[in-house]
Structures are given as structure tokens and as C-alpha cells.
Amino acid sequence: MYRTHTCGELRKSDVGQPVTLAGWVDSYRDHGGGLFVDLRDRYGKTQVVFSSDSGAEVQQLSRGLRNEDVIQVVGKVDPRPDGTVNPKLVTGEIEIKVEKLTILNKCKTPPFFPSQMDLPGEDLRLKHRYLDLRRQQMQQTMILRSKIIKLMRDFFEEHDFIDVETPILGRSTPEGARDYLVPSRVHHGEFYALPQSPQLYKQILMMAGYDRYVQVARCFRDEDLRADRQPEFTQLDMEMAFCEMDDIIGIIDGLVANVAKEVLDIEISGPLPRMTYDEAMERFGHDAPDLRFGLEIVDATDLAAKAEFRVFKAVADAGNRVRGICAKGAADKYSRRLIDDMTSMVQDDFGAKGLAWFKVEADGTLNSPIAKNFTPELLAEFKERFAAEPGDFILIVADKFEVTCKALYGLRKKLGAELKLYDPEKMHFSWIVEFPMFDYDEEEGRWVAMHHPFTAPRPQDVALLDSDPGKCRALAYDLVINGSEAGGGTIRIHDGATQQKVFGLLGMSEEDAKNRFGFLLDALQYGAPPHGGIALGIDRWVMLFGHLDNIRDCIAFPKTQRAADLMTDAPSEVDRKQLEELAIKVLRLDEVKK
């Protein structure tokens, strides 16, 4: 065998025992009388010692060892001499006196070392991911991921859910993001699509009588990427039949409490707090608010309408909104230069026309370049509205409601981090409910689904599908953890007439709907039960529970923001013969544009 123990296993109680270890050279130190090597595997590190007792041949061989060489050592467990115990290692009370050394594989000088403190750029890490994955933090994250997935699977098994795999090669049913397409060799000119989610399959399973389904599912979306998105990702997919929204939320409340206890040893008492979509947008400007801190949005549109300040008054008179936030005690922390930077941010990133601000002086007066446009009485009303006190900093955006939401959400997020308004180790879980069914696409002149086209309306809003779709609220719910959407689900439409009506509102003719979703419409006519579900983003759960900032650090082999795998150099060109078998001709980009 290559090893009798791992590098994190031996203790003082093992002194005198003959052992065989194998692993990577993490570090080596030549102290003249002997060579000391920290031998590493994913379980830990053990110090191994090459001394005169090891014999001349072993000593000579050991002098050629370098970091990341893969070796096997045979020896005896000894206690470390007095004064040399390393309390930072669980194996720090012992060492291995080496009697035999076998070099299993030499490592050429790597572009970076897994043990180094200062990490290289992400591109270099992804190019040599096999080195990056040796880092202790990366290994701990992968172990955390494995633990979370096991906890999820165990939890759902205890609640009578059946794990069912759904196809990877399916039909293209565009629902927002672009599909990844796979050409068929057998059916020339036809394509499979990789699943954006198992949405339709799991609904079919409900209609087939499998009333509790769960799956750890791989999903694929060809969309623009950012720090918390990947073109291929993993979700915990769940569906239930004969259920209402509260049933699904209750199950997930239990899952959250279980994972929080087992992973972070924190007690979460249910039910988790809920907030409607409208309330979240009014108070925080976003449908996934970070509730670890306050800094809530305050509406001052009615006060702005009374001001002589032309910008505020024009916005209020046009039926738009004047809203802001008040950062307690932050007036002295933001210079004019920093305020100018924030102004550029709301203009460039969120499309706002500008940023107004007030600082509350020690005597209680509001100081700002625009203060001269307000009467003392109106300034006092603004101060009262924002509950502002000396030393506070008020930031105001005047624009369309959607723009004020985006800008103030961005400012709130920025100030929350810069002013350290929350403990980054703290976890907050909540639900956002009662989302709009539809959003109106001005460019295309039609309604689009806020979640997906299979979402059921609230029973009391069904009539609005005919009279006023924009006011229709959905049986939709998102799980929010620390200001990130960690899962989203809906109760599904389970009757064909309502489903066809929703397709029509989305601009789909009966023929188009039949062509794209005929199998679903057919299944709805053969005894479909009420059903609903949710998808939890496993990659994002690992990121949040691991207190990480980048989702790529939670995935063994991630893609870059340009959807490339730097290690394998994918995507890549393929042999002409493969293309010919598929009857595919690759055009240059300029040829496509013509």
C-alpha cells in the first residue's frame, strides 16, 4: 500500500508505531544535522525528518526534494523534542523519523506554490487549476460543498422526496437566457439543447404521480457573466404536488435551519421572515435586500414638490420619485471628491441624472450646495423625514422609480460595506414574496414573464390577466441570504386554459405555444395536480456559507467571465471531419453579419 495513515491522522498516542505516509512536499528546512519536511495531503500536514539515522542513501536522496514533489516515506512515529511542538498543527506533537524514501513524482518549478500567502492573478490560477485546488482554502471549500450537498440530500430523503434524474439532452424551449445547443449527427439540421433548468421535466413528474421530487441538477445558460454567475451551474431542484406556497417555504425553512446548524453551528428559528416584492423595492430598492443592516430608503417626493429646487420639483411634478438614504454619523467620512465619485457611479452604472446630498452640521442645520433652494422650514421637514441628526449624511436621487431603486440600492450596498454596518460573518435569511407576474418590455412592446411562463397567478388576481396584467401578482417566492438570491420558486399553472392565456400575454400564438410546449399542454389535459417547487443555487449557497466573494472559488473547474476554461482551453475548434459528420459549416463573423 502507498500509505497506512493520512498526513492529518497521527497523534502522540501513535508514538513508536511504524507508518507509511504519502503526499506532497509542502515545505522543507535544512538545519544542518537533518532535513525537515512538512508532508501534505488533503487531511493535513505531518513533519517528517531525514537524519543520520535514516542512512546515507536516504539522506542523499532527500537533499534533492523540492516543494510539490510527490513522495512516500516509511518510518516510525516519534514525539517532537521539548520546545519544538507546533500547536498550529493537529499533528504538531509528533514527527516521523524516516527510514525509507521513495520519490513518486518530481515537480518542475510551478508558476505558483499552493502554500504561498500572496495569490497570483485569477487567470494564472485557473490555467493551473490542479495547483490551485491543492490550496488548503480551496480544499476546505470543496469539502464544504460536499457537506452541504449531502445535508440537502439527507434532509429531502427524510421528508420522502424521490431523487430522479432528468435529461441533459433536451428540446430547445427558450425562456430568457440563450440555450447551449448540441447538434445531432443522426438528425441533420436539428439540435438538442442543454437544460437551463429541469423545469418542464419536474412538472411532468408531478403529473406522473411522483409527488415529491428532488435532484442535484446541472444547468446551462448562455448569458453574460459576473462574479456570482457561471454558464454551467448546479442547483438543488425540488418539486411537490398537492401543495401551496406555504408548504414549500416551510420545507425550505427546515432545510435552512438544518444546514445552518450543521455547517455554522447557528440556531435558526422558523418561520423565516417574509417581505413582499413591493415592500422590498420601496424600503431597499432591490428584490434581494441585504437585511443585516438598516440604511432604508426614505421617500421625500411630497417634500420635493414644495421645493424651489427645479430638479426636485420637476421630477415630483412629472409623477416620478425623490428618494434617499441617511447614513448615520457618516458626514465627516465623505469628502467632496468621494461624493463626486459616488455621483459618477449612480450616473454611469445606474443611469441616474445626478446625486443630491446634505450633511447635518453640529448645530443641526443641513449643509449642501443646493440648500439655498430650500426654505429653513422645508429643510427642517427633510431633516425630520430622514430622522437625521448632527453628523449624518443624506444622499438623494430624483428620477423614475426604477432608476431611484437601482441607484439607491447601489449606494446602500457601497455604504454598508465601507462604513462596516454589518458583521460579514453574520447570516440573515428571508423570503421575498408576491412578485409581479409580468414585466413590460418597451422595445418589444409586449409582456415578459418575471420568473418563467409556467408561474401561477395569485387566485385573487386571475381576473387581472384579462383586465390589467401589470397588476397581477404571482405565487412566486425567492429565498434571500445576505442580500443574494439563494433560491427561487413558484407555484405552477396546472390547467391548460390558464397556461394558454399566459402564453398569449407573452406574445405566443396557439400554434407557437403548441410547437414549443406541446408536450406540456398535452400533459395538463391528463389529470395534472396542483404543484410547485423551488431551485436552490448550490454554488451560491457554498459561496455564502463559506463567506466567499467569488462563485468561481466554489466550483472545482469554473469558467471565466468570458465562459472559457483556461486549463483545457475550451471552447476550441474541432476537426473538420466532426463538422462534416454533423453537416455544419462554420462561417466567419463578418459572413454572419452579411
Q: One digit per residue, pLDDT tens: the chain, 594 residues? A: 899 999 999 999 999 999 999 999 999 998 877 899 999 999 999 999 999 999 999 999 999 999 999 999 999 999 999 999 999 999 999 999 999 999 999 999 999 999 999 999 999 999 999 999 999 999 999 999 999 999 999 999 999 999 999 999 999 876 567 899 999 999 989 999 999 999 999 999 999 999 999 999 999 999 876 667 899 999 999 999 999 999 999 999 999 999 999 999 999 988 999 999 999 999 999 999 999 999 999 999 999 999 989 999 999 999 999 999 999 999 999 999 999 999 999 999 999 999 999 999 999 999 999 999 999 999 999 999 999 999 999 999 999 999 999 999 999 999 999 999 999 999 999 999 999 999 988 887 889 998 899 999 999 999 999 999 999 999 999 999 999 999 999 999 999 999 999 999 998 889 999 988 999 999 999 999 999 999 999 999 999 999 998 999 999 999 998 899 999 999 999 999 999 999 998 888 877 776
Name the residue among 93, 75, 85, 54 with its Cα closest to residue 5.
75
Nine-digit cell at 231? 454558464
Nine-digit cell at 76? 516510525
As a whole number of angstroms, the distance between CA 196 and CA 232 comes to 9
Please state the pTM of the whole predicted model. 0.93
As a whole number of angstroms, the distance between CA 170 and CA 159 comes to 29
40 annotated among ligand-binding-site residues: no
CB 287 within 8 A of CB 281: yes
pLDDT of residue 177: 76
539 annotated among ligand-binding-site residues: yes
Domain ranges of the chain: 12-105, 144-187+197-272+430-554, 293-421
221 annotated among ligand-binding-site residues: yes
429: left (phi over 0), alpha (psi -120 to 50) or beta: beta
Residue 68 to residues 137, 188, 367, 425, 572: CA-CA distances in angstroms?
Answer: 17, 49, 61, 33, 30
pLDDT of residue 173: 78
As a whole number of angstroms, the distance between CA 547 and CA 553 comes to 11
Residues 6+ away with beta carbon under 8 Å from 405:
281, 285, 286
Coil, helix or strand at residue 50: strand
As a whole number of angstroms, the distance between CA 95 and CA 97 comes to 7
Query: Cα torsion for 262, 268, 269, 273, to the nearest 10°?
Result: -140
Q: Which fold, 144-187+197-272+430-554?
A: BirA Bifunctional Protein; domain 2 (3.30.930)
485 annotated among ligand-binding-site residues: yes
pLDDT of residue 304: 95
Residue 17 to residues 1, 52, 574: CA-CA distances in angstroms?
Answer: 16, 20, 55
Where is 149: in which H helix or E strand? helix 136-158
As a whole number of angstroms, the distance between CA 440 and CA 469 comes to 10
434 annotated among ligand-binding-site residues: no
451 annotated among ligand-binding-site residues: yes
Across the beta sheet with 232-241, the strand order is: 162-163, 212-220, 232-241, 531-537, 484-491, 476-481, 429-433, 274-276
Residues 6+ away with beta carbon under 8 Å from 411:
325, 342, 345, 346, 395, 397
pLDDT of residue 10: 98
230 annotated among ligand-binding-site residues: yes
Nine-digit cell at 16? 513508536
pLDDT of residue 174: 65
Q: Which fold, 293-421?
A: Gyrase A; domain 2 (3.30.1360)
**Which listed CATH number (2.40.50.140, 1.10.101.10, 3.40.50.1970, 3.40.640.10) goes with 12-105?**
2.40.50.140
Find the radius of gyration of the CA atoms of the chain. Answer: 30
537 annotated among ligand-binding-site residues: yes
